[in-house]
Amino acid sequence: MKKIYASMISIGAYAPEKRLTNSDLEKMVDTTDEWIVKRTGIKERRIAAANEATSDLAFKAAEIAIERSGLAKNDIDMVLVATLSGDFLFMPSTAAVLAGKLGLKDTPAFDVLAACSGFIYALATAKAYVESGMARNVLIVGAEVSSRFMDYSDRSVCILFGDGAGAAVISATDDPARAIVDVKIAADGSLWDFLTIEGGSKNPDGKRVMTMKGNETFKIAVRTLTNDVIEILARNNLDSNAITHFVPHQANLRIIQAVGDALKLAPEQVVLTVDKFGNTSAASIPMAINEIYESGRLKTGDLMLLDAFGGGLAWGSALVRFAGK
Ligand code: ACO
């Protein structure tokens, strides 16, 4: 029997209209544009409209990705949504809501919860389903309206996050040249308290806002992200020169630059959107891929190195040859 490979055949994204700039934040908390730009690289982020939920953003990104894939909606046989800010607290899943909006009535749909690494976890899941023959065309979406879970009086967190969605279609192919080369995911739950949103069974009365041990997270993020990409390149006998686009999670420009420097990447290899979208958590990597797609930088056959890190702590990396047109 011929081996089946999983392939990323399209990308799409959606960013809400409303912009929250650093000068807007200066009026809300004790901060400055200069501090935010210097410490994070962020200039503005997008905020969903009051009538937009996470599945609405996911739907807009998904429609674009499906259209660019050349498939019909009914060809999608699995829907995965990576999010930490779903439409509902635990039930129903945002993936099920999204599948309903897409008109899919008999399709498996579930959420993937791995915070900012969720898109890589969804990619790993889609790859496994496709390669095992259990699915042929998986829609994976990273979507967040994390602004609903922000404490806009906590300057150490609220300046970082923005809303948005990105989607990709992962399809079966027998051509190894179009395949997702490798995906690597990991977690260390002993550090669960570095990033939290309370309100679950452990503390139902806890505040449903994001908390973060920023400085501790920063140090572990740089070390883990660097080691992770070195490992995935090594186990595939690849050098960082082979990478056309390094697409890291857009949490902080300083983290991205530290990893880029450790890998000796040229600036043109590194994809940056953190300045205009901030940290969109699970949406950040697909939104960044969409950015290079729409600007014409991403070409069929280009090798992307994806790299994410976040709450859990959970992290992951992937080597993806783009097979879209
Ligand atoms: N404006 C002005 N001053 C501020 C602000 C602000 N918005 N926020 C914090 N400060 C102050 C602090 O109070 C502190 O003051 P002090 O020295 O008087 O105590 C000082 O700035 C330095 O604070 P640090 O927290 O040490 O600042 P740091 O350089 O670490 O930057 C940041 C903070 C941007 C949060 C950084 O630590 C970071 O990016 N961390 C990692 C984030 C990350 O990768 N998260 C994982 C993904 S997210 C997810 O999974 C959901």
Residue type, 87: D
Q: What's the confidence (pLDDT) of residue 195?
A: 97
Residues with CB under 6 A from ligand 1: 31, 35-36, 39-40, 115-116, 155-156, 159, 195, 214-215, 217-218, 221, 251-252, 255, 279, 281, 309-311
Grouped pLDDT means (10 residues each) for the chain, 325 residues: 94 98 97 97 98 98 98 98 97 98 97 98 98 98 98 97 98 96 97 96 96 93 94 96 97 95 94 98 98 98 97 97 96
**Residues acting as catalytic residues:** 116, 249, 279
Q: What DSSP string describes 105-162?
A: SS--EEEE--GGGHHHHHHHHHHHHHHTTS-SEEEEEEEE-GGGG--TT-HHHHTTB-
H and E: helices and strands count for the chain? 10, 13
Q: What DSSP string describes 179-201?
A: SEEEEEEEE-GGGGGGEEE--ST
Q: What's the confidence (pLDDT) of residue 42?
A: 98
List, in order of start, the domains of the chain with CATH numbers. Answer: 1-325 (3.40.47.10)
Strand partners, 180: 320
Q: Which two tokens stand for residue 273?
A: 């959107």
What span, in angstroms and rounded, lies between the C-alpha atoms of 70 and 98? 19
Return the ligand 1 atom nearest residue 31 CA. 1
CA distances from 71 to 123, 138, 173, 283, 321 (A): 19, 11, 14, 22, 19
Q: What's the confidence (pLDDT) of residue 1?
A: 74
Cα(242) to ligand 1 centroid in Å equals: 34
Cα radius of gyration rounded to whole Å, the chain: 18
CA angle, residues 95, 114, 239, in degrees to nearest 5: 115
User: Which residue has the CA at smallest separation from atom 21 of ligand 1?
Assistant: 156
